[in-house]
Amino acid sequence: MTLDAILPRMTAWIDRYALWIYGAAALGLLLCIRAIWIARREKKQSIFKLERELAMSRESRAFSTAALLVGIIVAVSGFKFYLAPNIDLAPPTATPTPTSFLFEEPPTREVPTATPTEPLATSTPRPTERPTEPPAPPTATALPAVSCANPGSCITYPVAGMRVSGAVQVRGTANIAQFQFYKVEYGLGEEPQQWHSLSDIHRQPVANGVLDTWNATGFPAGVYKLRLTVVDVSGNWTTPHEVRVIIP
């Protein structure tokens, strides 16, 4: 399908559902404004640097989403008020094709011919196939044991030196006395200068389960480190547990 055929259909669809798109975008903008207001309020009221960083991250995401929605509104307006008036949206008129008249010829009578009888084929014995034994299932390779200085703050998967790609489930334990929250971060290099949170902070303890998910797709190849930090109600945290991984 060529661009000349796609453009009128897309313009007609946008012209038909423009009001719905405007309404959805306006609702999304209101939600983004509310998210920005809440993030700024939490940033002012937070006493921990970690919580302020997370509030700033949510505020940045809300601004990006709002900019995207404004771009959608501008694009739809451009299609509706500038492209649609200049494109013929009427369906093409079908061109009649001439009808050809068919004349039936009288059927010809065929004389049946005798079919020669073929001799019966003798069956030849086939060699008996010996049954083959199914291959033995591969033996699962056990992962190396993980040693943690603090069992209450420990990443058990991925293990140190492991090659990872795609969506990686970070598993382990984040459960200390007077638990308040934990976070999982990643950094580039053997000694990362900056750490970035995989998601928001988690306020529910985890014992031998999924701590967070890291989507490593699109990251450049190299050495990375994952870091788990667990904070108690007094604002104190244990020594962060770090794991070295490789993106091939």
Spans of all domains in the chain: 3-86, 153-247
For the ranges 11-15, 113-117, 162-166, the lowest mean pLDDT is seen at 113-117
CA distances from 136 to 11, 133, 141, 225, 227 (A): 60, 9, 15, 37, 40
Q: Which amino acid belongs to residue 60?
A: S
CA–CA distance, 245 with 171 (Å, rounded to integer): 14
Long-range pairs for 91-96: beta carbons < 8 A, 24 or more residues apart: none
List, in order, residues 6 or more apart from 79 with CB less than 8 Å away.
Answer: 10, 11, 14, 15
Classify 35 as helix, strand or coil.
Answer: helix
Q: Which of 241, 212, 208 is nearest to 227 (CA)?
A: 241
Question: Is CATH 2.60.40.10 what the domain over 153-247 is classified as, yes or no?
Answer: yes
Identify whether the C-beta of residue 225 lies closer than 8 Å to the C-beta of residue 242: yes
Query: Widest CA span of the chain, in angstroms?
Result: 106
**Residue 214, burial from CB neighbour count under 10 angstroms (0-12, 13-18, 19+):** buried
pLDDT at 125 over 60: no
The two tokens of residue 129 are 């196939």
User: What is residue 195's predicted lDDT score, i.e. its pLDDT?
Assistant: 95
Q: Which of 214, 217, 213, 221 is nearest to 247 (CA)?
A: 221
- The DSSP bridge partners found for residue 226 are 186, 243
Which comes out higher in pLDDT, residue 9 or 237? 237
pLDDT at 24 over 80: yes
For CA atoms 217, 204, 28, 56, give the dihedral sign: negative
| Residue reference for tokens 């065929």 | 110
User: What is residue 19's predicted lDDT score, i.e. its pLDDT?
Assistant: 83
pLDDT at 189 over 90: yes
Q: What is the reported pTM?
A: 0.46
User: For residue range 73-122, what is the model confidence (pLDDT) as tens digits?
Assistant: 888 887 777 766 666 555 555 555 544 444 455 555 655 555 555 555 55
Residue 185: CB atoms within 10 Å: 20
For the ranges 79-88, 111-120, 191-200, 210-219, the lowest mean pLDDT is seen at 111-120
CA distances from 185 to 11, 60, 242 (A): 44, 18, 9
